[in-house]
Amino acid sequence: MDSRYLQDKEHLKQPQAIDEDRRSFLTAGLLGGAVAAGTLAAGVAHAQQVAQAPALSDKVWWPHPKWGKDDQAGASNYMTPAKVLDAVKWIKDGKVYRIGRIYESAMPKFGERAFTLRIPGSPTGGPFGINKLVYNDEYLSTEIGQTGTQFDGLAHIGIQMGKDGDKNEMRYYNGITDQEMNSATGMKKLGIENVKPFFTRGHLFDVEAVKGGMIEAGQEITIADLKAALQKQNMQEADIKEGDAVFFNTGWGKLWMRNNDKFNGGEPGIGLEAAKWFIDKGIALTGADTWGTEVVPNPNKDLAFPVHAELITKNGIFNHENLDFAGLIADGKYQFAYIFSPAPIRGATGSNGGPIAVT
């Protein structure tokens, strides 16, 4: 991955409407005073230069070598009856852990995303019948798949391979272009409805424990860190099988609803080294207690969310963000059955929902 893949995490609907504040955050460093003003300005200038002169890629990642050119389910194809039966073997005590966060307006959100819930009327309807029944509904306005505990779908991340604005050269999983996929009323391809429900083996790497405390933003989780976590938790690298899910506890989640500015200002996480290590193992999903799972800012300041592109776009591997592992860690449970069914909203780029871990 190099500067030719520089792209914001959110798709740029119009190339002339680039959010330079966000671009400077992704490329120059952390917001909130973590980087000197001069460095930040230099990063903005460099990001502008890269954006004006993108390099074309000579590499393609489609058709998918395992699932073929027409596939839209990605690594959820690993969810077979055999995989489910294998995961069930890890359920010993029947304890269920909610590993998703509560959704509320005050939670930290990326960029300009919003979460607004209203109850129309008081009550919403009624009374009806001689029994005077009344009821309440809710109206929710939000990026439904990209706020709170969020599951990134395959339409969420792409790579611009041609000139700015050329939607025929904005490529997503399996080489699908923005031109053939995008519409104002939902994605015509790669919508979240194509993703199969997850029931697989989960492995939690408590990197916070390895480091002796919360990892700071911009600190990359290395393969050495992951192997140290395996050793500390009495787990084996060979435990990680094709189609499994892997999760990372960094301690960053302790900032949730306590220091949202810091939480949003960057994050620790895996880099390309660890991502490729897991790709080689054939995993189906990554997840973390952070909002992006990967290290932000990336050590290579020319790159923006390269792990997202490597996992989601090139390999069809899903990503589950803003998870809460406190209960699992308190009980010393690092391997479990991970269960999650994405909300089948036709044309959505991701999903909200309540993932669980069962031990």
**Per-residue pLDDT tens for 164-174?**
999 999 999 99
Look at residue 246 and tell me whether its pLDDT is greater than 80: yes
Q: How many other C-beta atoms lie within 10 A of the C-beta of residue 289? A: 28
Kindly state the helix (H) or strand (E) to which residue 96 belongs, with its residue range.
strand 96-98
pLDDT tens-digit map of 311-354: 999 999 999 999 999 999 999 999 999 999 999 999 999 999 99
Residue 350 CB partners (closer than 8 Å, separation 6+): 144, 145, 146, 150, 151, 152, 153, 156, 192, 342
DSSP strand pairing (96-98 vs 356-358): antiparallel
Lowest-pLDDT choice from 29-33, 94-98, 244-248: 29-33
State the amino acid at position 95 in one-letter form: K
What would the two tokens of residue 245 be? 């899910």
Q: Which of 90, 86, 69, 66 is nearest to 77 (CA)?
A: 66
| Rg over CA atoms, the chain | 21
- Residue 212, exposed/middle/buried by CB under 10 A (0-12, 13-18, 19+)? exposed
State the amino acid at position 344 in one-letter form: P
Look at residue 92 and tell me whether its pLDDT is greater than 70: yes
What would the two tokens of residue 133 be? 């029944």
Q: Where are the beta strands (DSSP E) in the chain?
A: 96-98, 115-118, 125-128, 133-135, 139-142, 150-152, 159-160, 170-171, 198-206, 220-221, 245-249, 269-270, 285-288, 318-321, 335-340, 350-351, 356-358
Helix axes 37-52, 20-28, angle to 10 degrees: 110
DSSP state of 310: I
Residues 230, 236, 237, 242, CA torsion sign: negative
* Residue-wise DSSP of 130-163: TTTEEE---EEEE-TTSSSSEEE-TTS--EE-SS
Give the mean pLDDT of the chain: 88
C-alpha span between 70 and 59 (Å, rounded): 19
pLDDT, mean of residues 54-68? 78
Place of tokens 């058709």: 63
C-alpha span between 273 and 251 (Å, rounded): 21
pLDDT, mean of residues 223-250? 98
Please answer whether residues 267 and 292 qualify as being in contact, where contact means their C-beta atoms are separated by less than 8 angstroms.
yes
pLDDT tens-digit map of 263-296: 999 999 999 999 999 999 999 999 999 999 999 9
59 — pLDDT class (breaks 50, 70, 90): confident
User: Where would I find the H helices in 1-96?
Assistant: 20-28, 37-52, 81-88
Q: Which of 337, 351, 148, 153 is nearest to 247 (CA)?
A: 337
CA distances from 59 to 67, 195, 277, 278, 307 (A): 19, 26, 20, 21, 17
203 strand-pairing partners: 246, 335
What would the two tokens of residue 197 be? 């429900």
198 strand-pairing partners: 340
- Length in residues, the chain: 359
Look at residue 14 and tell me whether its pLDDT is greater than 80: no
At residue 252, φ and ψ (nearest 5 deg) are -60, -30
